[in-house]
Structure 1
Amino acid sequence: MRASRFFISTLKEAPSDAEIVSHKLMMRAGMIKRLGSGIYTYMPMGLKVIRKVEAIVREEMNKAGAIELVMPFVQPAELWQETGRWDKMGPEMMRVKDRHGRDYAIQPTSEEVVTDVVRSELKSYRQLPVNVYQIQTKFRDERRPRFGLMRGREFTMKDAYSFDKDIEGMQKSYTAMFDAYTKIFSRFGLKFRAVAADTGAIGGSFSHEFHVIAQTGEDALVYCPTSDYAANMEAAEAMPLIAQRAAPTQELFKAPTPDTVKCEQVAELLGLKLSQTVKSIALTVEKEDANGRAVKENWLLLIRGDHELNEVKVNKVPGLAAFRFATEAEIREAYGTVPGYLGPIATKAKVNVVADRTVANMSDFVCGANEEGFHFTGANWGRDCPEPQVADLRNVIEGDASPDGKGVLAIERGIEVGHVFQLGTAYSEKMEATFLDESGKPAPLQMGCYGIGVTRILGAAIEQNFDDKGIIWPDAIAPFEVVLAPMGYDRSELVKAEADRLLAELEAAGVDVILDDRGLRPGSMFADWELIGVPHRVVIGERGLKDGNLEYQGRRDEAATAVPVADMVGFIKAKLGK
């Protein structure tokens, strides 16, 4: 490829709306062009990267036994209504009507469509297992699209779906996809981590997320450096920090604490450690009683003052799947006070109390007195208030004991780029997707679901691989593997002849190479390719050629290396592992 025949459009400065490194660099490198909020045109340079990502994904999915198809971008509402997700998905799902007034969804994902396909095609256990996948455009109407391709509204995704006759088969398919994902991300040349995760809106019983490690990542990844334990913050189990509750040593005392509504303020006023305080969080659950009348339940969650609530874990506490935070009026009615002074002792109304594992083992703790301007010190379970329901409610912190008992936890940042789910029968039962088992009886299909954010890989790869000059692509997904940078291509016949010869030989050797024949000055030419991030550069100049050498420099190298002209093709092939 010659640069004069390719579309290269670099910018010295990023547009003002570009927020993070990957967004700025992709815009400056001419890889994407904004069309609307969260919607981008993939320019030729960016599309080359996307196609390389897709090729690796496709190769490994095919090797794992998955079969490619493509499902419609526009999907009838009836399928989504069968599973109840037409309403559950909320405003992120773009809904449209056709000329006849019929409702459709612009696909955010394809569980319903693929289940509809297989329920009409798979009739017998003899046809199982089956795994199908697509690489297709998706659309999610993000409330606040940002960060370029990292959180856009339109994006490209690889989604796969497995169908098995039993749970054992589903788990085998899940393992095969997990292994395929590991190979895919390894081939990308990215540092990544697979972590146990919450199933979220997709549903199912078990899942793992694949994250590209980057300091700018939105997600906190929890892992044990001395074991295999890894989970995202939402799913990471928090062990109790107090092994056993000590006997009370203090009397209950109502301490004046005016204008102190935060645990930090209370601890400072009383001269205590923050870890001696308990944070109270009021929730409300609305439900119907046996007679169909609407009723409200009051719930109080307790976590240590220096800890943070994990709302995903709260959702998993029996009775709290539909919780919301209580309003100030509801707090006054149930506790007889204003927010900031709540506690489990002497509430005004009936309250269901749930304590985090650590709080359940605390003694002589500080909590709100359910009276404005007062807190209790020396509070103890059993003596001063009933024993609470106990649950894991908090986010883990660095240094917590690993749940597997094999060390302590560390935390790093990551960008989610893949997710695998064991769905079980979450969709097949609702959509009556059944097959005849060995005994001739109908049984629901056991499903798995597996996604990779193809276009998101670009942003994640850049967030992990950049410097002050621009992008540093791994070889496998770089738009070009090698750039030939001739000095005076339009002025020196010697340079032109060697550049043309080297281009032809590298192309014949299967190297994805581009020759910059635009006649730019060296500084401008080098700046372009360092910004774009091509990992290998060969400089061709008259002075070097007279000495029989070319100049090689890797994108991460601090200095260039002289390589004999005759050896350069072999040198490049060795660098690329070809």
Structure 2
Amino acid sequence: MLWSKLFIPTLRESPAEAEVVSHQLLLRAGYIRQLGAGIYNYLYLAQRSLLKIQRIVREEMDAIGAQEFLLPALNPAEVWQESGRYEAMGDNMFRLKDRFGRQLCLGMTHEEVMTVIARGEVRSYKQLPQIWYQIQTKFRDEPRPKSGLLRVRQFIMKDSYSFDLAPAGLDESYEKHRLAYCRIFDRCGLQYVAVEAHSGAMGGSQSQEFMVATDAGEDYVVVCKETGYAANLEKAVSRPVPPAAPDAEGDLSPEEVHTPGQKSIDEVSAFLKVPATSIIKSLVLIADGKPVVALMRGDHQLSETKFQSATGCAEFRPAFPEEMRTLMGAEAGSLGPVGLTGVTVIADLSLQGRRNMVAGANKDDYHLLNVTPGEDFAAVYHDLRQVTEGDTELETGAPLQILKTMEIGHIFKLGYKYSHSMGLNVLDQNGVETPVIMGSYGIGIERVLCGVVELYADANGISMPVSIAPFEAVVTPVKSADPALAAAGQQVYEELKKLGVDVLYDDRELSPGVKFKDADLVGIPYRVVIGKKLPQGIVELAERRTGAKSEVPLAEVAGMVAEKVRAAKQ
């Protein structure tokens, strides 16, 4: 490939609308251009890298016996209505009608369609297990597209689905995918962590997310370097930081105290001169239409996922001010658990065993001192809180870290969610009709690209791993118009092609500095510079990732680059 013939529209400055590093550099390096909010054109360089990522995905999926399909992005609404997700997806789903008024939607994922295929064709346990996958465009009506390719309305996903007769078979399919994902991300050059996660709208009993640590991410994960524990913040468990002060001793009775205008935990803490860890926070929530009071230590935050797990509710919201007053007799800031009747009260485990704490009095501008959980009020205890900085690992007490991350892949044990709702059954060994147990497994193709950009970007631009770089090497004569330099450059270029290196020849009549900056900006791993030492048979070999430069004999440079490329891919 000759650089002068290619469309690589590089920019010297970051566009004003680009906030995160990957968005800035993919625009500057000429990989992408925006068409609309959350909608991007993938230009030549992006397409080359995305195709290389897809090739790695295909190789590893094929290696576990998965079979590639291609399903329609346009789905009849009734397929999603069968599973109940047509309504559950809400405004996130693109919906439309055809000329006959029939309802259609754009696929966000393809559990339903895969289930329809299996339901119509798989009759017997002898046809199981099956693993089917595709690499397909997905659509999500994202309300706030941002961060370049990280939050978009149209994206490419590898999604696969496993079908097994029994849970043991699902365990095996799940493990096959987990190992395949590790190989895929390793080959793509990513540093990642696999964490326990919540299944969300996908349903199911178990899931893991594959995450890349980056400030551009919107998820948080909790990790322990000593034990290897890793979980999404919404699901992570920990041993909380001890209270800032010991509880007062003795069997003290609740005592009402006037706290005029003191609403927040910080305000009450300062007014009463007690630490936030000695205050009970009362949250009033409406879960599936019914009020629930969730009690937390004052310095802790409620995990929405854990609240849903504890209550078993499908959806919930904060109570409105009028609902709080009707239920508890006061406004937010003065609410507490003492004296409540006719309402479900649940409490975080960090309150169990505590004594003589502060809580709202259910009377505007008043609080109660000396409130003891289990004596002055009754509650059912659950793990309800998010992990916070300073917490330790639950079993060992080892320190935990909270990292900001972006998701690149997610694997789910769906169980029987879709089999039951859509009637996917087979005959087992005894001729008995049995529901099929399923798994679902996704990789965001563009997110892999963004992940490597975020991880390895530097002041000069993108530093792509060899395996997914749009080109593995570039040959750059410092003066393309010089016949000797051009001839030597062409020679190295042809040798590299014969050795199987994906190479670009920079034949542009530009200054060496511009050529070098462009090669660094787009992230080409190796650069061969044909320059002033050519009369001595010497050229320069530069490595993008390390910045190392070395003088190499012209006759040997192609073989050296080919060997470096081979080693990097391994």
**Does 2:213 align with 1:208?**
no
Residue 529 (structure 2) aligned to one of 516, 539, 555: 539
CA contact (8 A) 1:481 1:536 kept: yes
* Structural mapping, 1:169-568, within 5 Å: 169-239=169-239, 248=250, 250-287=252-289, 297-347=290-340, 350-383=342-375, 385-405=376-396, 407-490=398-481, 492-541=482-531, 543-568=532-557
Rounded to whole Å, the distance in 1 between the matches of 2:408 and 2:427 is: 36
SS at 1:56 equivalent: helix
Amino acid at match of 1:481: E
- 1:306 is matched by which residue type in structure 2? D
1:239 to partner: Cα distance: 4.0
Specify the code of the residue in structure 1 equivalent to 2:161.
Y
State TM-score, norm by structure 1.
0.95
The gaps in structure 2 that reach 5 residues or longer are none
Q: 2:318 & 2:360 partners in 1: Cα distance?
A: 18
| 1:44-101: CA deviation from partner (whole Å, max 9, x where unpaired) | 0110110010000000000011000100110111111111111111111101111111
Alpha-carbon deviation of 1:132?
0.5
Distance in structure 2 (CA, Å) of the matches to 1:404 and 1:177: 28
Q: Which moved more, 1:365-374 or 1:330-339?
A: 365-374
Supply the AA of the counterpart residue of 1:365.
Answer: M
Match of 2:138 in 1: 138
Matched residues in 2 for 1:521 and 1:239: separation? 60
Partner Cα distance (2:298, 2:521) in 1: 47
1:145: how far off?
0.9
Moved beyond 6 Å, runs of 4+:
242-246
Shift of 1:522: 1.4
Which structure 1 residue ranges, 5 or more long, are not aligned?
288-296
Task: Report whether the alignment pairs 1:6 with 2:6.
Answer: yes
1 CA distance for matches of 2:548 and 2:452?
A: 24
Alignment CA distance shift 1:526-1:96 (3 Å):
same
The aligned amino acid for 2:139 is: F
Distance across 1 between alignment mates of 2:332 and 2:224: 37
Find the aligned partners of 1:250 and 1:522 in 2 and give their Cα distance.
81
Which SS does the other structure have where 1:133 is aligned? strand
Task: Provide TM-score, normalisation by structure 2.
Answer: 0.96
Q: Secondary structure at the match of 2:405?
A: strand
Secondary structure in 1 matching 2:422: coil
How many angstroms apart in 1 are the aligned matches of 2:161 and 2:546? 43
Answer yes or no: is the 8 Å Cα contact 1:248–1:380 preserved in 2: no
Shift of 1:180: 0.3
Q: How far did 1:574 drift? A: 2.8
**One-letter amino acid of the structure 2 residue matched with residue 471 of structure 1:** I
Structure 2 CA distance for aligned equivalents of residues 8 and 33 of structure 1: 11
Give the distance between the partners of 2:227 and 2:56, measured in 1 at CA.
Answer: 30
Any conservation in 1 of the 2:208–2:411 contact (CA below 8 Å)?
yes
Residue type at the aligned position of 1:336: G
Deviation at 1:14, TM superposition (A): 2.7
Q: Taking structure 1 as reference, are residues 463 and 248 closer, same or farther at Cα in structure 2, changes over 3 Å only?
A: farther
Which AA in structure 2 matches 1:571? M
Q: What SS does the corresponding residue of 2:558 show, helix, strand or coil?
A: helix
* Conserved? CA contact 2:247–2:357, under 8 Å: no
How many Å separate the matches in 1 of 2:61 and 2:407? 19
**Aligned with 2:467: secondary structure?**
helix
Alignment RMSD (CA, Å): 1.8
Identity in percent: 42
- Greater alpha carbon shift after TM alignment, 256-265 vs 57-66: 256-265
**Aligned partners of 1:373 and 1:318: how far apart in 2?**
30
| Equivalent position of 1:151 in the other structure | 151
